[in-house]
Structure 1
Amino acid sequence: MTPKTRIHLIRHGEVERQCYNGHYDVGLTPRGVEQYHGLKPRLEPGRITALYTSDLTRTRRGGEILGAYLGVAPVALPELRELNCGAWEGLTLSEVQKQRPEEWAARLADVVNFRAPGGESLTDLAGRVLPVLSDLVEKHRGEEVLVVAHGGVNRIVLLDAIGAPLSSMFAIDQKYCALNIVDYYADGNRVVQLING
């Protein structure tokens, strides 16, 4: 059988601020912490050999909680950060629509290539995340790896795994502490086992 790397891909728990957080280092709510603890029965100690998070608090805290349970030390990678929302960071959707209507219209016209001032596009995000994921898959060939990341990051990974375009970004839901599972085979094949579980 072709060796595979299984990636258990988790979105972070519920956060304190419901807005465009992006690179903003927002903390978790008590419910967000509990959501991480609720994932423990779904992850089997002894099977997962490595754990990676972004370097933002909302994922690093999950790495600490789950890493202690699994007996694996988390490694923080800045490349796994959420989409940089630039000038939109800290604003709610309604605030963006009211305060920056021209930018909002531009985003609706080209969701893939639009960048908020000072931020990233989905193309930029994919260019940052996918090479790192590929490195992790190769580094841990034949192993099971836990990655704690963000809604946008996870969607990029899942779209790539199923061969869907970035324009389908919001066709995939990612609830807080959603669990996704993707198997990466050495021959290049990929099988998505679970989305938004």
Structure 2
Amino acid sequence: MRTSIWLVRHGQTVANRARRYLGHSDSPLTTYGQRQHEAVVRRLRALPFTHAIVSPTERTRALAAAITQDRPSIAIVEDLRWREIDQGQWEGLTYREVLQRFPGDAQARWANGINGKPTGGESLADVATRVGEAWHELRSHYAGRRAIVITHATPIQLVLCFCCQTPVAEHWRWRIDLGSMTALDIYGSSIIIRTVNSVPPIR
């Protein structure tokens, strides 16, 4: 019995283009981001998904709506556990602005490895815990089905770490671009990685 899971990252937002930290907050899609969503929809059109799990942000909801527009039978479930890492007081800032405003906060975060966090935000360890719970539930609840998860870079990187038994501290080794797709086939306890960071062509 095969379970097929597609992990999709949303398209470019204004904050992404400006290289600003973007976690739980919203930022509108750019025109390029909208075109990325259209490309993802074209690539996935022929795949018979049965369920869609969505991180509750406007950028991911927009992609979910586009993917399911002509598929009224697909059940959409919003799950907070698939959100991007909470950047706390760094939210909306560039890295240079963080160093200018919160130099001590930055030093403490990077010194503490996966347990480091910005003031008011989450650590990578925090995110790994909630994404791990969501991933375990996804595999058990949707066994034998084809599901799509519309989420962000960090959750996708962490799932790949889980699949390859890689320390979460090395999540950065997996490049996950905006508007990209990662596909996994699961047979019992065995996981086949079909594709990672596949970016469909934009017309």
TM-score, normalised with respect to structure 2: 0.89
TM alignment of 1:56-71, pairs within 5 A: 56-71=57-72
Name the CA distance, whole Å, in 1 between partners of 2:186 and 2:106. Answer: 36
CA contact 2:7–2:151 (8 Å) conserved in 1? yes
Residue in 1 that maps onto 2:109: 107
Aligned to 2:42: 41
Does the aligned pair in 1 maintain the 2:41–2:66 contact within 8 Å?
no
Aligned to 1:53: 54
SS of equivalent residue, structure 2 residue 183: strand
CA distance, structure 1, for counterparts of residue 90 and residue 159 of structure 2: 23
- Normalising by the residue count of structure 1, what TM-score does the alignment of the two structures yield? 0.91
Aligned counterpart, 1:182: 184
Q: Which consecutive residues of structure 1, in runs of 5 or more, have no partner in the other structure?
A: none
Q: 1:86 to 1:75 in 2, by over 3 A?
A: same
Which residue identity lines up with residue 151 of structure 1 in the other structure?
A
TM-superposed deviation, 1:69: 4.0
Whether contact under 8 Å (2:2, 2:145) holds in the other structure is yes
CA contact (8 A) 2:84 2:153 kept: yes
SS of match in other structure, 1:75: strand
RMSD in angstroms over aligned alpha carbons? 1.6
Aligned partners of 1:54 and 1:149 also within 8 Å? yes
* 1:173 alignment partner, one of 172, 175, 194: 175
Paired with 2:173 and 2:71, the residues of 1 have a C-alpha distance of 32
* 1:133 alignment counterpart: 135
CA distance in 1, matches of 2:138, 2:154: 18
1:190 partner letter? I
Q: What code does the residue aligned with 2:27 have?
A: V
Q: 2:124 aligns with which of 122, 125, 128?
A: 122
Shift, 1:87, TM fit: 1.1
For 2:163, give the aligned amino acid: A
110-119 or 42-51, larger mean C-alpha shift: 42-51
Correspondent of 2:6 among 1, 5, 8: 8
Q: CA deviation at 1:40?
A: 2.4
Unmatched segments (≥5 aa) in structure 2: 199-203
SS in structure 2 of the partner of residue 146 of structure 1: strand
User: Residue in 2 aligned with 1:31?
Assistant: 32
Q: Distance in 1 between matches of 2:99 and 2:43?
A: 39
